[in-house]
Structure 1
Amino acid sequence: MWLTGRSVALIAAAVVSLLLAAIAGIPALLYVTGLCAGLVAVAVVLALLARPRLDLTRTVMPAIVEPDEVVEVEIRVGVRSGVPVVAGHWRDRLPSTVLGEATGTVPVTDGPYATVGYEVRGRRRGSHELGPFSVVVGDAFGLVQRSLSTGDRDRFIVLPRRSPLDVRVGPAGATDGATRLHPTSGLGQDDVIARPYLPGDALKRWHWKATAHHGEPMVRQEESELRPSVLVVLDADPRVHDQAGFEWSVSAAASVVAHYGTRGFDVDLATGTQSVSLESGHGLQDALVVLALAEPDSTPLVIPARERTTFVLTGSLDTTTAARLLDAVPSRDTIAFVARGTTEGGRDILAAAGWHVVARDAGDGLEQAWLAATGVTSS
């Protein structure tokens, strides 16, 4: 609680009036002294008796967003008090990872609650915390003010940045012999099932009518054809990453998951002890949220033992960390995106196991590394 400028001015006026009354012998000025000092004293007493409490409801829309997407925050705020108080300036604390202004003046309303709002944008992936909220309240004459705050916090998640990958290039993707396609409605003649083109599909299988209908390459498919499956592994071991390299790997993992997930693949994502499975692309957002919240972690990888095309996103490997990856990743049909700082011994270990190694720098675009991986796996 503090005195405002008005209170300071009244106290100064009381002091001056008292001095003039004593020096100039004007007793009437003592009434001015009493009035000014009394107003401040009454305001302080009422402020002590008020014991105001803050009620707050914060709504964040949407709670999961793409990078730089606008997040709208609406706050319903009310002050409960033993005596009437006036709410003034408010502020919602924002982390340095978001862009926006969360300050203003509480509007005057007829009811006990007022609504304020603001917009923010997330600058980087991850969970961003909003709050605590604080508001300044005072008496109707603006003599005494105090700050009320609430510890309530809310969060929104920014998904990783992703790069579009050319469907005409890149690894073809292995299939899992135990997984078969679910029947789908055909778009072509004679009840032939059509699905999106996948790298490695023969030209003779193109379904021209379905391609024209969808506006993207489509191919003919038998109902018994195996549904393609891939595994994406984010190696979060802090020993192999610097900050920029880890962010590159997270963004690349998100791009590969989205690329195959939106094209009907079964995709498994593994990072540390966490794993997410997408069946024909369903559950993509769950996988992206896991990547949005990913942090360097030395926990050993836990990966289901199934042979399929595998993408490993890692950093600077030596012989020890390369051997660790080989033990953790069950598939030999693997492409590893490694930092250029990887030792020759580390590369040799991976190459000897049949892995295709693609070197990258943290400043490289994923598209370059993707082109380097073209045609290195079997379909």
Structure 2
Amino acid sequence: MITTRGWAALGAAAALVLLYAGFGEPELFAGGVFLVGSVTAGTLIVRRSRPDADLTRQITPLRLHEGDRARVEIRIFARRPLRPLIIEDEVSKLGRARFATSRAARNTTVSAHYEIVCRPRGVYQIGPAELIISDPLDLAAVRATTGGIDRLVVYPAIEPLSGLPATRGHDPSVQSAHPSHAPSGGDDFFTLREYRQGDDLRRVHWPSSAKRDELMIRQLEIPWQSRALVLLDTRAKTHTPESFEHAVKGAASVLHHFFGAGYVPQLWVGDTVRPSGSAPYELAMEKLAAVQPMESLDLRHAVLRMRRYGHTGGALVLITGALDEDTLAVYQTLGRDYGKTVLMVVADEEPQFLVPYKLGGAAAAVVGLDDSWAGAWTEAIGAGRWSSASPG
């Protein structure tokens, strides 16, 4: 409760008393008593002024990408009168905001705001805040923690891309023709499955249910042309710190482009790809905001495990920092499940190991650390003229 200045005042008071004992000057003793009295009075003041308030935050905008500025507005509701106080609000890894407010009457609201430069990408914690009240001489202070913890999610930076794959004709995973769809969603009749408790009875397929003597549900799926998989190679051995960040930026740009065009892309970063939920764009971008290189990722086996969930679709996008046998094996494994494949590589020059991918029909976008993804993407997809050859 006693501040650094207060302890310094008490030390000076002790020195003055010692000097009084040595020289007998009453002014020295009076000075020591004054300092001790000032610290005591300040302590009593702040004890009676302990803040009793609620703090809330509002962060805008809701979607933030690396390099953007976030505005954090703080509102403090005083349940009893407040002396002038200092607010400290910490943003993990990004710094601390500190500002002063004026007096506040009971049941009134005091507001303030500050800005955060959102760099680098990541998931950050804001709060809890500290309210600090001190005496006029700053000899004593009292701190009170208030407000909850808010999350600040900084998505990777993105580049605007143009051009989409031409995914028409046959689903590569099913030996029958599906209707051609524009990538805008909608439901296609796909298969049947057994009824589960909670299923919508309007989806019961009655002819099949009568034939099998049990309820069968029509399984509806997104048209295959609208599905896509964005696979980010997160192995640490294939990246430098700089190339990894550029690869993450490329993945974020492709996801943003696909979602904006009406596709339903899935993101894989070394984990298990599962159905996204109610906010697929936000979930995918938050995953990219937090992703880090993985030291022990077995890419081949991880992809084989992921493939068991039956993901197929119109477009496969494979993003890496270096081509090796594992990435080729992944392409040969997954390329059969997708109509078109594009390979995005962060490299200063075109890798020699790129030939098997091109022979297999993949389009390739190779960029250096200082190059843009946008031009390489447009050139790679060739305005939709992708080869239809099967890989490997």
Q: What is the CA–CA distance in structure 1 between the aligned matches of 2:317 and 2:235, rounded to whole Å?
A: 16
2:342 is the counterpart of 1:335:
yes
Instruction: Indicate the percent of aligned positions where both proteins have the same amino acid.
Output: 25
Q: What is the CA–CA distance in structure 2 between the aligned matches of 1:283 and 1:179, rounded to whole Å?
A: 25
Letter of the aligned partner of 2:243 in structure 1? G
Q: Is the 8 A contact 1:57 1:76 kept in 2?
A: yes
2:254 is the counterpart of 1:234:
no
Give the 3 Å change call, closer, same or farther, for CA 144–354 of structure 1 in structure 2: same
2:336 is the counterpart of 1:326:
no
Measured after TM superposition, the shift of residue 109 of structure 1 is 0.7
2:300 is the counterpart of 1:292:
no
Q: What is the CA–CA distance in structure 1 between the aligned matches of 2:102 and 2:91, rounded to whole Å?
A: 21
Over the residues paired in the alignment, what is the CA RMSD in angstroms? 4.5
Give the 3 Å change call, closer, same or farther, for CA 239–178 of structure 1 in structure 2: farther
Residues 294-315 of structure 1: CA deviation (Å, up to 9, x unaligned): 3334262324342523221122
Alignment of 1:12-31 (within 5 A): none
**Structure 1 equivalent of residue 150 of structure 2:** 154
Q: What is the CA–CA distance in structure 1 between the aligned matches of 2:85 and 2:136, rounded to whole Å?
A: 11
Measured after TM superposition, the shift of residue 31 of structure 1 is 7.2
More helix by share: 2
Give the 3 Å change call, closer, same or farther, for CA 260–145 of structure 1 in structure 2: closer
**Structure 1 equivalent of residue 367 of structure 2:** 360
Letter of the aligned partner of 2:2 in structure 1? W
**Structure 2 equivalent of residue 246 of structure 1:** 244
**Structure 2 equivalent of residue 124 of structure 1:** 120
Residues 39-92 of structure 1: CA deviation (Å, up to 9, x unaligned): 4335446767988777543332334323443322123447899xx984533322
Q: What is the CA–CA distance in structure 2 between the aligned matches of 1:268 and 1:305, rounded to whole Å?
A: 9
Give the 3 Å change call, closer, same or farther, for CA 334–87 of structure 1 in structure 2: same
**Structure 2 equivalent of residue 93 of structure 1:** 90
2:106 is the counterpart of 1:111:
yes
**Structure 2 equivalent of residue 376 of structure 1:** 386
Aligned match of 1:134 in 130, 134, 139?
A: 130
Letter of the aligned partner of 1:326 in structure 2? Q
**Mind listing any 5+ residue stretches in structure 1 that lack a counterpart?**
185-224
Q: TM-score, normalised by structure 2?
A: 0.65
Letter of the aligned partner of 2:228 in structure 1? V
Q: Is the 8 A contact 2:125 2:151 kept in 1?
A: yes
Q: Is the 8 A contact 1:7 1:144 kept in 2?
A: no
Measured after TM superposition, the shift of residue 104 of structure 1 is 0.9
Alignment of 1:192-203 (within 5 A): none
Q: Is the 8 A contact 2:13 2:33 kept in 1?
A: no
Q: Secondary structure at the match of 2:237?
A: coil
Q: Is the 8 A contact 1:244 1:362 kept in 2?
A: yes
Q: What is the CA–CA distance in structure 1 between the aligned matches of 2:3 and 2:227, rounded to whole Å?
A: 68
Q: Secondary structure at the match of 2:288?
A: helix
Q: Is the 8 A contact 1:125 1:292 kept in 2?
A: yes
Letter of the aligned partner of 1:363 in structure 2? D
Q: Is the 8 A contact 1:317 1:342 kept in 2?
A: no
Give the 3 Å change call, closer, same or farther, for CA 44–283 of structure 1 in structure 2: closer
Letter of the aligned partner of 1:246 in structure 2? F
Q: Secondary structure at the match of 1:164?
A: coil
